[in-house]
């Protein structure tokens, strides 16, 4: 399904906090299957780190790999895959 650009909600953007960026400790990362995705934006809304932008691109510099986005996706379009080290 084609992606539609949605207006970004009034949320803060991720910035480098006291603990810095995520670094290398993340074990799983989300991968979006754009064929399944209907661009509903729920993943963007639920991400506690606001690491998913309006184009549904995950900023892996800030993503913690919590899996909430994958859990909340109604289309099961996000798979958590193990990081290559």
Binding site for ligand SF4 (CB under 6 A): 30, 32, 37-43, 47, 49, 51-52, 56, 58, 63-69, 73, 75, 77-78
Could you tell me the two tokens for 80? 């958590």
Cα angle 73, 66, 75 (rounded to 5 degrees) comes to 10
CB 61 → ligand SF4: shortest distance, Å?
A: 11
Contact 35, 1 (CB under 8 A): yes
CB 46 → ligand SF4: shortest distance, Å?
A: 6
Q: For ligand SF4, give the closer residue by CB, 22 or 85.
A: 22
Name the residue among 50, 44, 76 with its Cα closest to residue 63: 50
Contact 59, 14 (CB under 8 A): yes
CB 15 → ligand SF4: shortest distance, Å?
A: 14
Q: For ligand SF4, give the closer residue by CB, 21 or 37.
A: 37
């Amino acid at each position: 399904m084609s992606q539609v650009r949605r207006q970004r909600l009034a949320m803060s953007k991720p910035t480098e906090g006291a603990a810095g960026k995520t670094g290398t400790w993340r074990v799983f990362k989300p991968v979006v299957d754009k064929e399944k995705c209907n661009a509903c934006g729920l993943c963007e809304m639920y991400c506690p780190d606001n690491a998913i932008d309006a184009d549904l691109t995950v900023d892996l510099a800030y993503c913690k790999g919590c899996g909430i986005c994958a859990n909340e996706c109604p289309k099961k379009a996000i798979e958590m895959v193990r990081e290559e080290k």
